[in-house]
A and B are shown apart, each in its own frame.
Chain A
Amino acid sequence: MLFNSIDFAIFLPLVFLLYWFVFQKNLKQQNSLIVVASYVFYGWWDWRFLSLILFSTLVDFTVGIGLSKTDEKRKRQILLWTSILVNLGFLGFFKYYNFFLDNFQQVFRLFGSEFRAGSLEIVLPVGISFYTFQTLSYTIDVYKKKLEPTRDFIGFTAYVSFFPQLVAGPIERATNLLPQFYKSRIFDYTKAVDGMRQILWGLFKKVVIADNCAQYSDMIFNNHQDYSGSTLILGAIFFAFQIYGDFSGYSDIAIGTSRLFGFDLKRNFAFPYFSRDIAEFWRRWHISLSTWFRDYLYIPLGGSKGSKWMQLRNTFIIFLVSGFWHGANWTFIAWGLVHALFFVPLLLLNRNRKHLEIVAMDHLFPKFRDLIGIGITFFLVTMAWVFFRAENIQHALEYFSGFTRNPFMLPEVRPMLVFAFLAFFIFIEWLGRGEQFAIAGMGLKWHRSLRWSFYLFLALVCFIFAGQEQEFIYFQF
């Protein structure tokens, strides 16, 4: 079920009413409702893959119980690896099998021999990378004794399948979300209204910004040979806004929806396009994934401790794995590699933690130096997105080579409406960059009629552009 669909517009109020009016007095029933709603939400797309989520849930729940019963290191390790192998096994099978097979076959062909094995005609289960990482975090935290294993199966199932963030994150840690299923929830007006505001802004990002930019970035990327260099650069910029609007929009709707049910999810985006260098960008982009990799991969590898060579090795590993997490294609690995290369100079110069505060926090305009930093970072990130968006490496290289075709002429594609929306979007995001999401604090001190007019404007614009009902990009990951 898509957030930007009529189905969800009916589903959400229905679950909300049942949650607060029918089952409000019984925590178990509320959690059960969340499980049922989550399975309906996911099954709406393809009910067959519900068995995967259920199996994953059963394995990790059982492993958790098992871990609570033994202190023997070897037994604990076996249990941990059972969970890792089952979860990553599913992920590997559904997401990476054909990729590895194709590449094995190509390598064998290179050496003049033939490797025969049939590729699989399988559909990638939506959101498998997200819930796999979420459930893995539980087992690892229990193994490390950072978290008490749960004996509440319904609560744990609700945690794994929680519908607002099931298919595209934020990837919630068990330490943050799971305990929230144990406590009774009381309706909080401020929280709910805040949630509605975040849903509205998320929808605006998705249906107005992302879907409109998608129309033009798709057109330009798919016919790149027909366009001038300036149009290709514009196409890459459109994609940069498309993916940001799409993914952060999803996160906003997920977080906002959770707040309606009394849950607090972790922030996933913090205005990444206002970053002044790549390191800051990665502290602000897909935070739940980068912190997951930091805690479960980077730190166990040694993190920033050890020699510079070790740090460099760890940096490359984390960026390459992060790229590969996104999809079974060399383009994603190239995207990760490019980001690692952008990051390395900052690491070598010890400047990777230079910008920790919000840009121009107490000023309306940034300093010239910050502005240049933002411009350069956005340019680098946008160039890297070309790899992310391209069908294959060849496509990406051809796209880059097209930049030299009349790069200074006026772009052939000039959608005025999209430009106007982008200008409005950047303006609002800039004004709200100190908040959890752009319109979190906007207008709270305005007169009610003015504030409602602003929300009405956003809602109407969302409605006008909602007809396309386009899928979220990150569903495929």
Chain B
Amino acid sequence: MIKFFKNIIAFSSVFAFGVVFLISVQSFILSRGNNFKLPHGTDAVILGHSHASCAYNDTLIKGVVNLAEPMEGYYYSYFKLKQILRYNKLKFVFVEYANNQITKYADDRIFGEYIGNQFPKMLAFIEPRALIKLGLKNPIGVAKNLPVALQMNLEFMVEGSGDYVQAFWSNDHISDHVMQDVQKKMKTVQNDASKSGIITNSYSVSEMNLFYLAQIANLCKKNGIQLYFLRAPVSKYEHLPMESTFQEILNQEFPEVPFIDLKDFPVVDEDFADPQHMNIYGAKKVSVYLNELIEQAIRTHNLTIDEFLNHH
């Protein structure tokens, strides 16, 4: 029995080492530059979760690539940006600073229930220490998603296009669905939300997400990149949690980061696919507007952002 256990432990150790080795090899191979080259003329990227991925159509915004992905916490955005910066020279980074990114609910997207959403696409680029942090938070979730990530990456290496951004981070989430029967839908959304604990009387803050938002700010600073926070429009039916804390964090933690708040952008119900997410029609309006804002208030400084927001 002792011999059996000795062998099991020895083999498990070798196996664990093998998994780490595999992750490292995949990471090394995948991190090559041509996997991450953004289109010529790109000087800015947008990062964030589904609000951003649905609201900004980057084909309508000059020089900008929208890398936002549904369910993406800042933890993943940070490593995504780091990887992009290794092979691209950017001038601006836009990060979707949304209310639900600061609530505790954001933890679910990083290491909780929705870990499977972004973790596999990002595994090869997460730093070891950060990976261990994630493993300590949710060992089962990480263990379940490690093979998913390894398989996905292996298949990409063998059969993929050679463009990781296009394969996994491309912004292709804008729906042509038009939100209908809003009241009924809202009831469902709110019921779901209250069941899952999203809507509570008192929210707490996702420290992990905010830590990595600060890391994004530091990374931009270090690389001489101007960081902007964005907030995409949401429908009038959407509840914006923790607004005062949201503003407080913005002013106290990120006083140097300009905030482009499109919360009050004039929209109608038909601009949304659901109460939280814009559709192709809403995205067109917002993207054209954002393109103009970037041209006039960021690239050329004809106007300040506030002036642009007030005048347009």
The interface of chain A, by Cβ under 8 A from chain B, is: 6, 20, 187, 189, 192-193, 196, 415-417, 452, 455-456, 459-460, 463-469
Whether B144 and A452, one on each chain, are in contact in the complex, defined by CB atoms closer than 8 angstroms, is no
One digit per residue, 1 when the CB lies within 8 angstroms of any chain A CB and 0 when it does not, for chain B 40-60 equals: 000000000000000000000
A184 to chain B, nearest CB (A): 15
Distance in angstroms from A159 CB to nearest chain B CB is: 25
Cα of A6 to Cα of B15 in the assembled complex, Å: 16
| Bound Cα distance from A463 to B3, whole angstroms | 25
Residue of A nearest to B152 (CB): A467
Partner of A460, one of B15, B140, B143, B158: B15
Please tell me if the beta carbons of A6 and B159 are within 8 angstroms of each other in the complex.
Answer: no
Q: How far is the CB of A243 from chain B (nearest CB, A)?
A: 22
CB nearest neighbor in B for A417: B158
Asked if B22 contacts A415 (CB within 8 A), the reply is no
Closest 7 CB pairs of A and B: A467-B148, A467-B147, A464-B150, A466-B147, A464-B151, A460-B18, A417-B158
Q: Which residue of B lies closest to A414 (CB)?
A: B159
> Contact flags (1/0) for B8-30 with A, using CB distance below 8 Å?
10010011001100100000000
A466 to B145, CA, bound (A): 9
- The one of B7, B143, B150, B151 in contact with A6, judged by C-beta atoms closer than 8 angstroms, is B143
Interface flags for B209-235 (1: CB within 8 Å of A; 0: not) read 000000000000000000000000000
A465 touches B15 (CB 8 A): no
Rounded to whole angstroms, the CA-CA distance of A399 and B155 in the bound complex is 29
**B binding-site residues for A, Cβ under 8 Å:** 1, 3-4, 7-8, 11, 14-15, 18-19, 22, 120, 140, 143-151, 154-155, 158-159
| Contact, CB under 8 Å: B1 / A187 | yes
Known contacts A193-B7, A416-B159; A464/B154 CB under 8 A: yes
In angstroms, how far is the closest chain A Cβ from the Cβ of B70? 20
In angstroms, Cα B22 to Cα A6, docked, is: 20
Known contacts A415-B159, A452-B11, A456-B15; is-contact A464 B1 (Cβ 8 Å) = no
Name the B residues within 8 Å of A466 (CB-CB). Answer: 147
Contact of A459 among B15, B148, B158 (CB under 8 A): B15
Q: Which residue of B lies closest to A5 (CB)?
A: B144
For A189, what are the chain B residues with a Cβ–Cβ distance below 8 Å?
A: 1, 3-4
B3: nearest residue on chain A (CB-CB)?
Answer: A189
Q: How far is the CA of A416 from the CA of B156 in the complex (A)?
A: 12
The CA of A20 and the CA of B4, in the complex, are separated in Å by: 12
Minimal beta-carbon separation of B299 from chain A (angstroms): 43
Chain B min CB distance to A474 (Å): 23
Beta-carbon contact of B150 and A463 below 8 Å:
yes
**CA of A187 to CA of B148, assembled, Å:** 36
State whether A416 and B18 are in contact (beta carbons under 8 Å apart), knowing that A20-B1, A452-B11, A465-B151 are contacts in the complex.
no
Given contacts A189-B4, A417-B154, A465-B147, contact A456 B159 (CB under 8 A): no
Scoring B7, B22, B147, B148 by chain A CB atoms within 10 A of each residue's CB, the highest score goes to B147
| A-B residue pairs in contact (CB < 8 Å), sample of 30 | A6-B144, A20-B1, A189-B4, A192-B4, A193-B7, A415-B159, A416-B158, A417-B155, A417-B159, A452-B14, A456-B11, A456-B14, A459-B11, A460-B15, A460-B18, A460-B22, A463-B15, A463-B146, A463-B147, A463-B150, A464-B150, A464-B151, A464-B154, A466-B147, A467-B145, A467-B146, A467-B148, A467-B150, A468-B148, A469-B144
- Chain A residue with the shortest CB-CB distance to B7: A193
The answer to whether A467 and B144 touch across the interface, beta carbons within 8 angstroms, is yes
CA distance A460 to B18 in the complex (A): 7
Chain A residues in 8 Å Cβ range of B22:
460, 464
User: For residue A13, which residue of chain B has the nearest CB?
Assistant: B8
Contact, CB under 8 Å: B151 / A467 = yes
CA distance A416 to B149 in the complex (A): 19
Q: How far is the CA of A465 from the CA of B150 in the complex (A)?
A: 8
Interface centre among A6, A187, A416, A463 (most CB of B within 10 A): A463
Residues of B within 8 A of A20 (CB): 1
CB-defined contacts of A196 to chain B, threshold 8 Å: 8
Q: How far is the CA of A463 from the CA of B147 in the complex (A)?
A: 6
**For A460, what are the chain B residues with a Cβ–Cβ distance below 8 Å?**
15, 18-19, 22
Q: A6-B140, A187-B1, A468-B151 are in contact. List 12 more A-B contacts (CB 8 A).
A: A187-B4, A189-B4, A193-B4, A417-B159, A452-B14, A456-B15, A459-B15, A460-B19, A464-B22, A464-B151, A467-B148, A469-B144
